[in-house]
Structure 1
Amino acid sequence: MKSLILFAAIFAAVSALPRGNDTEPKGWYVPVKGGKFQWVSRDEYENAPVPEMRKSAEVKFYLYTKSNPTSPKQLYLNDKGTLSSSNFRGSLPTRVIIHGWENDFKSAVNTDIRSALLNIGSFNVICVDWSDKSVSLNYAGSKNAVPDVGRQVANFLDFLSAQGGMSFNKLTIIGHSLGAHVAGFTGKQVTRGKVNTIIGLDPAYPLFSYSDSSKRLSSSDATYVESIQTSGSLLGFLEPIGKAAFYPNGGKSQPGCGIDLTGSCAHSRSYQYYAEAVQRNNFKSIGCSDYNAAVKNKCGNSFSNIRMGTGYGNSGVFYVPINKKSPYGTG
């Protein structure tokens, strides 16, 4: 019976979603602890008083390099001494990984992508931890903390530029779920340059508006923004977020996830696919006329020369075929 109720709830959520970029949903099914959802109407959310935060989230930064691939060095904003004694090298490309709700810097999104990067080259890999439970224990509170977390990450990157010689031209920020929107707010708030690349891994959908790009990750937050969208209409956005938007298996559900009622499996696949793409460059794509064609797999059968996860500078909407198990890429 519980499964039937949850299925009915999710069906209602999907039926409330926008049918085009010029409309908005009536509300969202918002994730709560225990893998459940709670319906929140748009009016209820927009008219509710914003809870006063007791303090800003405590955001921590952990550095990994080829010299310390598994033992992080914690870095601190405006602490030049700690920075100079670390393995951070301004001449290297910098990769920043930002987790989502109920995760931390030890979560799989960080370990999978960090390992993939350091397996292929030399990088400054910085895992951001914004799991501060004193700010919020629920999704809505964490969502409200996103702009401030983005501000703190932006300040830290400005510090790395000023004191560590980091080049914004060699900077990529990779964010999953709510972390994708943190990446967007980071790009909006840096002051010493423009972020080169943001990779949005299934950017979180509940409580966000597609029509207001100032309050979510948008294609203007970096020189190049790529989105990999895997649980559209539930935990992630269905509409294209990035300058290049990739829709694995159509972007709503993923092969091998079974009856994925909560969408958690499909949501996690976004970072698993990206980690694989970093190492294998094996996700072929088909160009689509729009995102509706990608969702329905009606983009033809001619592969483009653009591959998901490695397509810097490209634009458009792309359908990506997916295998049921690793390796997920078909190329």
Structure 2
Amino acid sequence: MFEVKFKRYYCLVISVLTASAECQRESSLPLSKDSFQQIQRIFMPTPRGRKAELSDIRINYYRDSVRNHSYYRIQDAVSLLSDPTFERQKPTVIYVHGYVEVTSDESGATLVQAYITNGGFNILFLDWSNLAFGDYISVLFNIKPVGHEVGRAILRLLKQGLNIQGLHMVGHSMGAHVAAVAARLMKARGYTVPRLTALDAAHPGFYPPIQTVPINSKDADFVDVIHTDGGWFGASASIGHADFWPNDGMAKQPGCLPFTLPLTFENFCNHWRSWQYWAESVNGGNFVARKCDNYDDFLRGNCYGTAYMGLAAAPELRGNYYLRTAAQEPFALGERGAV
């Protein structure tokens, strides 16, 4: 029996990597040419053309389209303030990607486009992919130095006129912890980030922490968190001022498959729902949630009131909030999602 199962698994991998017709006939799992992309990146030291050095961290500045952007090396970040399209007094969002991700991935492109459509922000994308590739443990030890380098760069921007009142840091997975380290350093230097958002903050290696203190409510004036894969790739405990738990905050999120091959593109569906929900909220998606003690109370209607998950979340919110979502876009159900 083991040999039969192993042969089927091997055939599934081969069918994607070699397009073997024989194996494809046996394949029953949903796989695509992108299924093993994340696994391949684990065995790559850096993206092509990048160096595993702090000096090669970059900040991308997006203007009116995903393609219309400039990048600045982290130590020269203040140069972006000289761009005539950059409005210093306008709210600025800084998005930080996760493990083995690059700026051109669907997550980055979707979020950038959402903010471009919104039109209310300077859009900065922290590209630390040069230190986010390779084995997971090694990348864990990069979080603190990367976060410190980023924090120092943002401090230079603030001292040159960037408006801290409109600063919003958003991090997905490991990126949430990078953003937290940066915000922590800034706070120690007298600049407290007004809002820090975690999109399914990474769980492995942070709870309990191996090397870096994970994101927490002390890192900014308002820390809001969206949980979608709690206990697996994402954190399973309340870690912010306001923690949102769509569909109980764990797998399986509506529309995600109940069974997938580990670490394949499809396997990250629940984890990636967090940035999909966030992007939709930036575009005006109405995610109404209820403050409850737990998901069972939510299902029974034993809750205290409503709040909005996503960009519209109010900074005075405190506690745990639950809601339901649709299985496909648009995910927001409005008031129906809170009952």
Contact 1:288 1:299 in 2 (8 A): no
Equivalent in 309, 318, 326 of residue 321 of structure 2: 318
Aligned ranges 1:59-74 → 2 under 5 Å: 59-66=57-64, 69-74=66-71
Partner of 2:39: 34
Aligned counterpart for 2:169 among listed residues 149, 159, 173: 173
Residue correspondence of structure 1 range 70-149 to structure 2 within 5 A: 70-76=67-73, 77-78=75-76, 80-81=78-79, 83-132=81-130, 137-149=134-146
Which residue number in structure 1 is paired with residue 178 of structure 2?
182
- Residues in 2 aligned to 1:59 and 1:160: alpha-carbon distance in whole angstroms: 16
Give SS of 2:145's match.
helix
Q: Aligned partners of 1:138 and 1:73: how far apart in 2?
A: 29
Partner residue, 2:47: none
Whole-Å separation in 2 of the counterparts to 1:296 and 1:214:
34
CA contact (8 A) 1:286 1:319 kept: yes
CA deviation vs aligned residue, 1:28-87 (integer Å, no higher than 9, x gap): xxxx9539x9xxxxxxxxxxxxxxxx8547310010134x55311113434655531352
Letter in 2 for 1:305: T
Partner residue in 1 for 2:287: 283
Question: Aligned equivalents of 1:155 and 1:207: distance in 2?
Answer: 25
CA RMSD in angstroms, aligned pairs only = 3.1
Secondary structure of the 2:146 match is helix
Partner of 1:267: 271
Aligned length: 285
Q: Distance in 2 between matches of 1:295 and 1:2?
A: 39
Which residue number corresponds to residue 29 of structure 1?
none
Tell me if structure 1 keeps the 8 A contact 2:59–2:126. yes
C-alpha distance in 2, partners of 1:295/1:154? Answer: 40
Partner residue of 2:149 out of 149, 152, 164: 152
Structure 1 position 304, deviation (Å): 3.0
AA aligned to 1:151 is H
2:23 maps to which residue?
A: none
- CA displacement, residues 99-136 of structure 1 (integer Å, 9 cap, x when unaligned): 00110122222221111112122311101111115x75
Output the amino acid matched with 1:286: R
How many percent identity over aligned positions?
Answer: 27
> For 2:256 and 2:268, how far apart are their aligned partners in 1?
9
CA distance in 2, matches of 1:230, 1:282: 17
Quick one: structure 1 residues 260 and 84, their matched pair in 2 at CA, closer, same or farther if it must change by over 3 Å?
farther
Match of 2:218 in 1: 220
For structure 2, the residue ranges without an aligned partner over 5 or more in a row are 10-36, 43-51, 335-339
In the alignment, is the contact (CA less than 8 A) between 1:299 and 1:319 conserved in 2? no
Structure 2 match to 1:245? 243
- Which is worse superposed, 135-144 or 263-272? 135-144
Whole-angstrom distance in 2 between the partners of 1:116 and 1:319: 24
Secondary structure in 1 aligned to 2:124? strand
Q: For the residues of structure 2 that align with 1:280 and 1:177, how far apart are their CA atoms?
A: 23
Radius of gyration: which is bigger?
Answer: 2
Q: Which moved more, 1:225-234 or 1:296-305?
A: 296-305
Question: Deviations 1:114-165 (Å, cap 9, x if unpaired)?
Answer: 11112122311101111115x75111111111111111111111111112x1
- Normalized per residue, which structure has more helix? 2
Which range moves more in the overlay, 272-281 or 90-99? 272-281
Unaligned residue ranges in structure 1 (runs of 5+): 6-31, 38-53
SS class of match (1:215): coil
Within a 5 Å distance, the mapping from 1:8-27 to structure 2 comes to none
In structure 2, relative to structure 1, the CA distance for the partners of 1:218 and 1:34 (3 Å cut) is same
Task: Identify if the C-alpha distance between structure 1 residues 127 and 33 changes in structure 2 by more than 3 Å, giving closer, same or farther.
Answer: closer
Give, in whole Å, the separation in 1 of the partners of 2:107 and 2:171: 9
Quote the residue 1:196 is aligned against: 194
TM-score, L = length of structure 2: 0.76
CA–CA distance in structure 2, aligned partners of residues 322 and 142 of structure 1:
32
Aligned-partner Cα distance in 1 for 2:77–2:240: 34
Deviates further, 56-65 or 184-193: 56-65
Deviation at 1:235, TM superposition (A): 0.3
- Structure 2 Cα separation of the partners of residues 61 and 295 of structure 1: 42
SS at match of 1:34: helix
